[in-house]
Structure 1
Amino acid sequence: MENKKIVCIGGGTGLSTMLRGLKAYTKDLTAIVTVSDNGGHSGNLRKEMKILPPGDLRNCLLALAEAEPMLEALFAHRFSEGSLKGYNLGNLLIVGLVDLYGNFGAAIEKAHEVLRVRGQVLPVTTEDVQLKAIYDDESEIVGECEIVSANKSHKKYIKEMKLMPSQPKVYKNVLEKIEEADIIILGPGSLYTSIIPNLLVEGVCDALRDAKGKIVYVGNIMTQPGETEGFTLLEHVNIIEQYIGVGMIDKIIANDGWPEAMVIEHYNQDGAELVLPLIDDNRLIAVPMIALNEETGYVRHDSRLLAQTIMSIG
């Protein structure tokens, strides 16, 4: 096992999928996770309990856990009946830890101990932030869930993303981890709601610009309805570099495999398309790395192949 220091910045299922693969290759692994989600059951807990959304952090903790299988199963369990239908037990346990230890940061630290997490999972901030989209017609929408819904309905182009309050204080150790990293990975994940929100926190973009490690963007396999419909791989890269600086991304990892036709058709019906690595760029590393989730019928990155590709970067 190598001792490369790897920092992964993002959110959503793409981040946790990548972490599962990487933990087999390095002991020094850090996930920096967005906390702007306001939808689903995580969003409900956020409103009712006045805490940060626990879902993305829980997924990353589980991805890096070395706890007994029963404990992992408890943290992953989702209720199917009654008033708790749809709620995840792991999210509720994090809420309980917040109650016990007084704040969200301490609760996540205790969850590391309970799950015997290899590496670290850090919220990018512990301030109560909301995401705001500013469109090319100068209209604005606040709230991650509301932004995605409005984008699907009105097909408007996002000009800029902001956080409210602006420039929230970064969580402890986040900047230090970026500074010390050999490789810093942005993505995979929703461009506007998983990756960019991390870049809007105080000091994160400056730390990336000053970082000694290589900055790598892992491209999404499919475009995302309500966010990146019709986007090319290069458009994803260019938008990230609007925040961190042109030319700051050292390597671009992209899938160049094709899912089965019926899978593509399923995505096309929802307005999503395959993101093809059709760019002439010496930063590009294109590898077929599609895995199909049999339960959902959706594609994801093959965590093992993605990890091997990341580890091959010198």
Structure 2
Amino acid sequence: MLEMLPNAQQWERGPKITAIGGGTGLSTMLRGLKKYTRNLTAVVTVADDGGGSGVLRRDIGMPPPGDIRHCMEALANVEPIMQRLLTYRFTEGGLAGQSFGNLILAALNGVTGSFEEAVSQMSQVLAITGRVLPVTSADVQLEAVFENGARVVGESKICDVKKQQDCRIHHVELIPAKPKALPAALEAIREADLLLLGPGSLYTSVIPNLLVAGVPEAIRESDALKIYICNIMTQDGETEGYTAADHLEALMDHGARVDLCLANSAPVGEGLVERYRAEDAAPLVVDRERISAMGLELVERPVASEGGDYARHDPDKLAAAVLELYRQRAVRIFRGKNRYIIEE
């Protein structure tokens, strides 16, 4: 059952939620969460080097805007024509493949002189609910180290090299190592009532945030309820053969600590399963005993979208499940200065 949407006063005073990740998984979840609270912050990776974001990164030296833009699109409160403009992708000429939303961010980056300020200004233009913050303003690249010792630098290259090596990713690193976190991102983590990691690509969307100085420590020290939201499917070129527990182990190996794992319980349609099988992907296996042995709570809810060409989370079902868990497991006790301590 979906949670009842709050009235205006409840929405204004809703829980402080900080969601950490990147890619389409994070933006999908934000579309649902923004209906429950205005106190919403997305902390987003900036390690992407492919597609239109990669072009802007190489050509004008700005951080990749793609994941940031996706989150702002999800949280925007604008007319339909503006939504269409943000997502419009050029098909011809030198701009082929480039998103109009990326170009707006690139222009603001030039006008304001900093990517952080560009994101802030675009957030105001779009009247977004909450905030979107890059996890760092540093120019970083993602490096994957495979179990056989092979290495590759560049987020966009990991998938192909993993297939060539035919072995799992052992860990990922940022170059330069441990870049300085955006102070506002660390503050959002420390002040949260509820911390969410995922859904999204494990090694290229979620974990890169944990490699920024201070982020894993802020997560561990936070009093918030911490939930990892499992992907619905494994990912070709990244997590083939992984179970839910494998995802959690990878997170912990990179410094994360969570209290609870939320997994989808709705079946994936046979047609979609066949389609994903052709791409070496499959529905994520939830290995309950291993997760229990790790000392983590597991909750399974039907949060997958019904129909469609892809197996993705339903924004409303996922947000409702997250808020239900928060209300069931967290007691908010006022400690002053608008700070709430989460106690089981």
TM-score bracket relative to the smaller structure: over 0.9
Aligned to 1:261: 270
Aligned to 2:163: 152
- Aligned amino acid, residue 59 of structure 1: H
Superposition CA RMSD, Å: 1.3
Distance 2:306 2:166 in 1: 28
Q: Measure how far apart 1:263 and its partner are.
A: 0.7
CA distances 1:219-263 after superposition (whole Å, capped 9, x unpaired): 000001111100001110111011225xx3111110111122111
Of 122, 147, 151, the residue aligned with 1:140 is 151
Structure 1 residues not aligned, in runs of 5+: none
Q: Measure how far apart 1:9 and its partner are.
A: 0.3
Q: Measure how far apart 1:292 and its partner are.
A: 5.2
- Aligned amino acid, residue 291 of structure 1: S
| 1:62 pairs with 2:73 | yes
- Aligned amino acid, residue 283 of structure 1: E
- TM-score, normalised to structure 2, is 0.87
| 1:200 pairs with 2:214 | no
- Aligned amino acid, residue 206 of structure 1: E
Does structure 2 conserve the Cα–Cα contact (< 8 Å) formed by 1:255 and 1:276? no
Aligned to 1:310: 322
Q: Could you say what secondary structure the match of 2:18 adopts?
A: strand
Distance 1:213 1:63 in 2: 24
Deviates more, 1:93-102 or 1:77-86: 77-86
Does structure 2 conserve the Cα–Cα contact (< 8 Å) formed by 1:167 and 1:200? yes
Distance 2:175 2:215 in 1: 16
Of 297, 300, 303, the residue aligned with 1:283 is 297
Distance 1:143 1:125 in 2: 17
Distance 1:151 1:13 in 2: 22
Q: Measure how far apart 1:204 and its partner are.
A: 0.2
Distance 1:77 1:54 in 2: 15
Q: Measure how far apart 1:71 and its partner are.
A: 2.0
Alignment length, in residue pairs?
Answer: 310
Does structure 1 conserve the Cα–Cα contact (< 8 Å) formed by 2:146 and 2:162? no
Q: Measure how far apart 1:293 and its partner are.
A: 6.7
Aligned to 2:236: 225
Aligned to 2:260: 251
After the TM superposition, list the runs of 4 or more consecutive aligned residues in structure 1 that deviate by more than 6 angstroms: none
Aligned to 1:48: 59
Distance 1:291 1:172 in 2: 35
Q: Could you say what secondary structure the match of 2:55 adopts?
A: helix
Identity of aligned residues (%): 43
Does structure 2 conserve the Cα–Cα contact (< 8 Å) formed by 1:155 and 1:226? no
1:194–1:168 Cα change, 3 Å: same
- Aligned amino acid, residue 181 of structure 2: V
Q: Could you say what secondary structure the match of 1:36 adopts?
A: coil
For residues 1-314 of structure 1, the aligned pairs below 5 Å read 1=6, 2=10, 3-244=14-255, 248-280=257-289, 281=292, 283-291=297-305, 294=308, 297-313=309-325, 314=329
- Aligned amino acid, residue 266 of structure 1: R
